[in-house]
Structure 1
Amino acid sequence: MSRVVAIAAGVAAFALLAITALAPPALPVHQAYAGSSVQGTLQVISVPGTATGIRVTRDDYSATSGLQTFEAGTTNRDWAKLVMFLAGFPVSDSNVTVMMRWMRQENGPNDWWNRNNPLNNGWGSGGGSGFGSYDNLVTAAENAAEALHSNSGYSGIVAGFAASAPTAQIEQAIWASPWATSHYANGAHWSYTPVPEYSSPAGTW
């Protein structure tokens, strides 16, 4: 009887030894903390005393809204960009180039701010004619942008600017539109030389 008990005890001891041998090893300390943090336990990170910080110097920067940026300009190029922005068109090089050429055909580059009406736009200006004036160039840009979207005769111009199309396509749409009764002689009076930039006098914006 005692022999049976001894054999049973030996089997139990062997089973316990087998279970212990198959148990997984303890997790490394960093993994143990990571596992406990998932359950809400505070995670502790040790930093060696020899660790040093790194100081990073960054350039200063500032930001302004798009409208404020364009309104802060003083040149014919700035005004052309402002019209594009207010009309919801891409402020692309091709669009700005066409607008500056268009402004030159209306008032000339060295007097582009004439009557605060660079495009001789009649929309919202005094008397409703292209020879009316605006209080300032920002108001003029707002009315030019609104005029383009408000007259179906300008739909080709709008489509060209909206797609930032090739300059020739937009310019042909301008000539074909009712903006100018002369239609710019269908392009015969159109100049393609670079438009020089000029600042308008103080108080025009």
Structure 2
Amino acid sequence: MTAAHLHGRRVTRLLAVAAGVSAFALVALVSLAPPPQAPGSSDAYGYVQTSAQGSLQIVTVPGDAAGVTVTRDDYSATAGVKTLSAGSTNKDWATLVLFLAGFPMTESNVTVMMRWMRQENGPPDWWNRNNPLNNGWGSGGGSGFGSYDTLVTAAANCAEALHSVGGYSAIVAGFAASAPTAQIESAIWASPWASSHYANGAHWSYTPVPVIASPPGTW
């Protein structure tokens, strides 16, 4: 076999190998490329395109992609003595008694307490003698006509009286359960707090109690 013939066969083999490598590279390139996107399709693909300058990441997001909603816990401020004192209204005082007594400060509980206060001292001077409920517990006055140095002291003594006097147990149970207003009010009428028992409810008013602030220095 001549040298020319051997050289020709060597060239043929090299071309065949080169063709095979080219075919393999083409198959690999096709397998790495992103699949074609059908017309009208909203699917998105992310892939890495390599160039001489480095690696470029391409991410496509469809226009109709759904957003993610993140739900967080609510935050609320808890009522306290300083907060309620700053409000200085009869509603604040009613809420303060509930707070100091450890009762739920629900709207129904506050409503009952404000109605009760109205029966003892009318809204225009609900802070009378700094004793809105005419409480005799620690006020130094007989039959509940004593006074307190501040409305905060009055609220603390009222809360203590409710838990300390056995005759108020039904009232305490009602407030603690945030029971219907009628249930708590019936317990108030039956309690020894007022000797008249509010005429067993005949003198009880159900109209909304106006919210009125007390004068400076009462708290």
Q: Same fold (TM over 0.5)?
A: yes
Work out whether residues 80 and 96 of structure 2, in 8 Å CA contact, stay in contact via their aligned partners in 1.
Answer: no
Alpha-carbon shift at residue 73 of structure 1 (Å): 1.9
Change (3 A) 1:63 1:179: closer
1:83 aligns with 2:97: yes
Aligned length: 146
**2:118 equivalent in structure 1:** 104
Alpha-carbon shift at residue 63 of structure 1 (Å): 6.3
What is the correspondence of 1:110-121 to structure 2 with a 5 Å cutoff?
A: 110-121=124-135
Q: 1:144, 1:73 → 2: CA distance?
A: 19
1:179 aligns with 2:193: yes
**1:141 equivalent in structure 2:** 155
Structure 1 stretches (4+) deviating beyond 6 angstroms?
Answer: 61-65
1:131 aligns with 2:149: no
Q: 1:65, 1:137 → 2: CA distance?
A: 16
> Cα deviations across residues 136-167 of structure 1 (Å, max 9, x unaligned)?
10000000000000001000000000000000
- What residue ranges of structure 2 are gaps of 5+ in the alignment? 1-55, 57-74
Change (3 A) 1:203 1:142: same
Alpha-carbon shift at residue 72 of structure 1 (Å): 1.9
**Which of the pair is proportionally richer in strand?**
2
Q: 1:64, 1:168 → 2: CA distance?
A: 27
Q: Secondary structure at the match of 1:132?
A: coil
Work out whether residues 123 and 129 of structure 1, in 8 Å CA contact, stay in contact via their aligned partners in 2.
Answer: no
Q: 1:79, 1:182 → 2: CA distance?
A: 24
Q: 1:174, 1:165 → 2: CA distance?
A: 13
**2:176 equivalent in structure 1:** 162
**TM-score normalised to structure 2 length:** 0.64
Give the letter for the 1:109 counterpart. Answer: P
**1:58 equivalent in structure 2:** none
| Aligned-pair Cα RMSD in Å | 1.9
Q: 1:190, 1:99 → 2: CA distance?
A: 12
Alpha-carbon shift at residue 129 of structure 1 (Å): 3.2
Q: 1:78, 1:62 → 2: CA distance?
A: 17
Q: Secondary structure at the match of 1:126?
A: coil
Q: 1:63, 1:104 → 2: CA distance?
A: 28
Q: 2:162, 2:79 → 1: CA distance?
A: 24
Alpha-carbon shift at residue 70 of structure 1 (Å): 1.9
> Cα deviations across residues 42-64 of structure 1 (Å, max 9, x unaligned)?
xxxxxx9xxxxxxxxxxxx9968
Give the letter for the 1:102 counterpart. Answer: W
Q: 1:87, 1:95 → 2: CA distance?
A: 12
Q: 1:65, 1:154 → 2: CA distance?
A: 25
- What residue ranges of structure 1 are gaps of 5+ in the alignment? 1-47, 49-60
Change (3 A) 1:151 1:62: closer
Change (3 A) 1:89 1:64: closer
Q: 1:154, 1:63 → 2: CA distance?
A: 30
Q: 2:126, 2:106 → 1: CA distance?
A: 21
Give the letter for the 1:181 counterpart. Answer: S
Alpha-carbon shift at residue 127 of structure 1 (Å): 2.9
* Larger RCO, structures 1/2 (Cα 8 Å, 6+ apart): 1
